[in-house]
Amino acid sequence: MKKSISLLLMGAALLGCINSPKSASALKEIGTMPSFERGYEQGVSACYAAVHNDTLYIAGGCNFPETPAAQGGSKRYYKGIYKAAIGDTLHWEKAGTLPTASAYGASTQYGSHLIIVGGMNTDEALTTVLSIDMANGCKSDTLPSLPCSIENCAGAISQDLLFVTGGNCNGKPSNRTFMLNLGDSIKRWEELPPMPSRARVQPVCAATNDALYVWGGFTPSDSTGRAHTHTDGVCYNINEKRWTALPDVTDNDTPVSLSGGTAILATDECSIVAAGGVNSEIFTDAISGRYQLIKKEDYMHQKPEWYRFNQRLMLYNTTNGKWETVERNTSFARAGAIMVRHNDNILYIGGELKPGIRTPQIHIR
């Protein structure tokens, strides 16, 4: 890849877990979604992605390809698996097919395998756990099923340990977390202690060698309190097997919600990169049903900038517990996007620009 489009996200400074340079944006669009399934080319959110041998793989996702959501359109789910060599431009090939169309599961990578945990489709929420072998023609295999259906969750891998956290479990907003040891000859899911917070639907998470970090997510109104969009986080110490609370994600002391955003571990393995997500005030107003900021009938009809999705590319230093805003760019202002790492770069894929409206754009930084 030409260095002109592979300016490093982490750079030498980040590799030492210290502040990164605030340089001009290195974000560049290198392609859009493939067009093998009718409607997919319009862009999807909540898809699955991984990188293997300098090749980007994406699968699944959902959108409203015919009638917009604001006009009562039906959501469509997709099942294709696609691949493209990472370069100045993406040239897509169909690589395989998921057993069922789906979106909203946890997408992680284990060696050459894209792991998809849970998710949902038009008919149901899923308990399935898929392992897609990118080195072997995207052959699909199954891992042990989840103990309950899980969707709108987040997932991460720490060495051989696969975690899935938050989301809806059997249709109910959840603060539960499950772990599967992929290195065990006999694999089975273990439920960990619940997160020390209310439910977290659509959180982000990432894992280091010794900890799982979770931020954001939302809780609908329930018997425990009003609807809430989290700006704080929690951390599970893998060795000590206990949770601790993390303070708000902040930018110049302003709380930031990563709910509906995306996060991955940086190449230095002591930093976490996060981007996107909803605005906590606007989103909480909507899910609470109060609609004090705007009339309910007008909510879905605003321009994208009105929703104030998070425009920040952010970095969390696990050593000192500090957040840093690396860059602000409207192209990061998405919900339901997915971010994956390619060497020292990130790829930022799809998502929605506002409720119901997807983007097909794929960027690299």
Beta partners for residue 273, in sequence order: 264, 315
Domains of the chain and any CATH numbers: 32-143 (2.120.10.80)
Of 166, 247, 151, whose CA–CA distance to 205 is shortest? 166
Residue for token digits 């954001």?
Answer: 216
The whole-number mean pLDDT for each consecutive block of 10 residues of the chain, a chain of 365 residues, reads 34 37 71 97 98 98 96 97 97 98 98 98 98 97 98 98 98 98 96 97 97 98 88 98 98 96 93 98 95 95 98 97 96 98 96 98 97
Query: Distance between CA 169 and CA 348 in Å, rounded?
Result: 27
Q: How far apart are CA 363 and CA 359, in angstroms?
A: 11
Q: Residue 170 carries which DSSP code?
A: T
Distance CA 128, CA 103 (A): 12
**Beta pairing, strands 139-143 & 150-151:** unpaired
* Residue-level pLDDT at 146: 98
Q: What is the pLDDT of residue 339?
A: 98
Q: Cα dist. 153→103, 113, 119, 166, 177 in Å?
A: 11, 19, 8, 5, 10
CB 96 within 8 A of CB 81: yes
Tell which residue, 264, 230, 263, has the closest CA to residue 247: 230
